[in-house]
Amino acid sequence: MNEVKEALRTIEQHYKLFLQQQFTFIAALQHTRENAHDMIRPVASIGQVQSYMDHYCNNSTDRRILNMFLSICNDLSKLCHKLEAVHPGNSTTNGILERCKLLLSHSNDLSTIRAKYPHDVVNHLSCDEAKNHYGGVVSLIPIVLDCMKEWLNHTEKLPRHMLHNVSGRSALSEKRAPEDEPARAAISQNPPSVHPEAQTSISNKDCVQVQGSKHVRKKHPNDTENHNGKLKSPWKPPGRHAF
């Protein structure tokens, strides 16, 4: 989900740059329509803009702004596929995605769509431009962005186990991964090394203190203790006696 949000933020930043150049975009459409002798019909599809740029664009400024528009549309189309990967869909979210796909289809007729408040892209056009030529094409991107934000709002209300990231893992397992990290790190750590002085101290534990300052000999593995707690050497057979 975070990857989808980041992708949407990136597209919005690109669109803000494009929006600052709307007059350049309209001028580029005007020039290419004149070169194509296509001044009557409205600019009504993404495919039409693509055709103008490929065949009737004569300067780098027009080509740059037309390509920017087409690039944003392409990024939005790719994001639609990511949205499908994140959530298998219910009737509401599937309906929103289907509308986005339809709007971003290269052959879809955009002439009747209009971006409404708070978007003011149509208000920057003259009445003739808005009604007869460019009202639909300038409204496309803001309408699709609104649809994707609506999709996110609906999806975030769903249970987390229904969501998946774009690589196919569940969001729940993705959430648990950071929590399991400290345990894995603790297991993978090497045991602390023992200082030589500590080893000496450990070996001296075999020496038992009696009455504070008096030491007895080091306990042998075969030694046993009597009922008073004193060390008792193992039994040895008596030696031979000379006759």
User: Which among 147, 138, 171 is positioned nearest to 1, based on CA atoms?
Assistant: 171
pLDDT at 154: 87
Residues of the chain with pLDDT under 70: 159-243
pLDDT at 161: 56
pLDDT at 155: 86
The pTM of the full predicted model, rounded to 2 decimals, is 0.67
pLDDT at 222: 53
**β pairing state of 209-210 and 214-215:** antiparallel
pLDDT at 243: 42
pLDDT at 189: 52
pLDDT at 88: 74
